[in-house]
Amino acid sequence: MRKHSFIAGEYYHVYAHSVGNMALLQSRRDYERFLSTMFVANGRRDISHLDRFPGLNLVSDIRDSKIDLGEALVDIVGFCLMQNHFHLLLQEKSDGNISYFMHRILVSYSKYFNLKYERRGHVFERTFDSKHLNDDNYLMRALAYIHLNPKDFKGRKKKEHRYEWSSYQDYIGENRWGKLLSTEFAFEYFENDKNSLRDFTETAREDDYELDSLS
């Protein structure tokens, strides 16, 4: 049972792991499909047949207001997609929206994955896990933790900002997702100084904290 509720205006670190340590993301197409699913899920409107939209074209159309998903369910503050799990940092916009948002992602991607890889059964270990980020420093440390996830990949340590499937590069470089990624809180925290944000993240690397020890 979840130890907290999702309360409007509050921030949460949300994460899910594949069942049996299975590779959730096995190809570039899988990563693109997951990102498309994540952004499409953040609205009341359903868009069916995502396979009709190659690459991230659908996301670009949503970002550029060519497609209207309706009011966003959550604010997506940060993300990192790894081969067998993913991390999101979300702000709840209305009580219960995070649960609905995550349900949409997990069900949609599971259907895609099982069809593509000709399998049945659960794709994720459990529905999803979450931690309430109840102060500003805790929130920024969680964002740093998320952005540093690729550090153990060969050749990726201290180059996590180049990892394509994370929002880190969108904070210290150009934001690829525009209004779909809510960067305002972090930039206000660091007084709109991208170098300060990067320095904070680099310092967090030395903390070597685990997910459950963040406090």
In a domain, 153, yes or no: yes
Q: Whole-model pTM?
A: 0.92
Q: What is the pLDDT along the chain (215 residues), one digit of tens a residue?
A: 567 889 999 999 999 999 999 999 999 999 999 999 999 999 988 777 777 787 899 999 999 999 999 999 999 999 999 999 999 999 999 988 999 999 999 999 999 999 999 999 999 998 899 999 999 999 999 999 999 998 877 655 678 888 999 999 999 999 999 999 999 999 999 999 999 999 999 888 776 555 444 43
**In angstroms, rounded to a whole number, what is the distance separating the alpha carbons of residues 136 and 35?**
26
Domain CATH for 132: 3.30.70.1290
Of 36, 24, 44, 81, which is closest to residue 180 (Cα–Cα)? 36
Task: Render pLDDT for 20-37 as a digit per residue (tens, 0 to 9).
Answer: 999 999 999 999 999 999
The whole-number pLDDT of residue 154 equals 62
In a domain, 158, yes or no: yes
In a domain, 53, yes or no: yes
The whole-number pLDDT of residue 2 equals 67
Half-sphere exposure of 98 (CA within 13 A, CB side): 29
In a domain, 40, yes or no: yes
- Domains identified in the chain, total number: 1
Radius of gyration of the chain (CA): 17
In a domain, 4, yes or no: no
In a domain, 2, yes or no: no
Q: What's the burial of 171, exposed, middle or buried (CB within 10 Å: 0-12/13-18/19+)?
A: buried
In a domain, 71, yes or no: yes
Structure tokens at 80: 């990192």
In a domain, 89, yes or no: yes
- Residue 58: give the domain boundaries: 11-209
**In angstroms, rounded to a whole number, what is the distance separating the alpha carbons of residues 92 and 147?**
20
